[in-house]
Amino acid sequence: MNDILDEQCRTIAIPKRITTTMRDIWQLQQRLPKRQGRRANKLLEHPKFRAAFDLLELRANVQRNPDLEALAAWWADFQVFKQYTTTLYGL
């Protein structure tokens, strides 16, 4: 990922604030499958989580990868569950 962005920055001008956001979202792609313990809650609180989740759903739809589709479905359900428990119990 870093090599690709570095190469593109030599060809076209991409502001650092954009490339930093892109790197964050791509790095979160590697963390999304690791959802044991408190990791899921920590990821859900990450400022770029929603963008990373949207990219995960896009990848799952485009690639038609059953593992990515299952992972995206799990995160969608977890977000609903977390919102429900927060609303219900104030957790």
Q: What is the pLDDT of residues 82-91, one digit of tens each?
A: 888 877 777 6
Q: Which one has a higher pLDDT value, 84 or 3? A: 84
Q: So what's the pLDDT on residue 37?
A: 86
**Nearest-5° Cα angle at 51, 19 to 7:** 25
Q: Classify 47 as helix, strand or coil.
A: coil
CA angle 91, 36, 72 (to 5 degrees): 85
pLDDT tens for residues 57-89?
Answer: 999 999 999 999 999 999 999 999 988 887 777
pLDDT for 8 beyond 70 = no
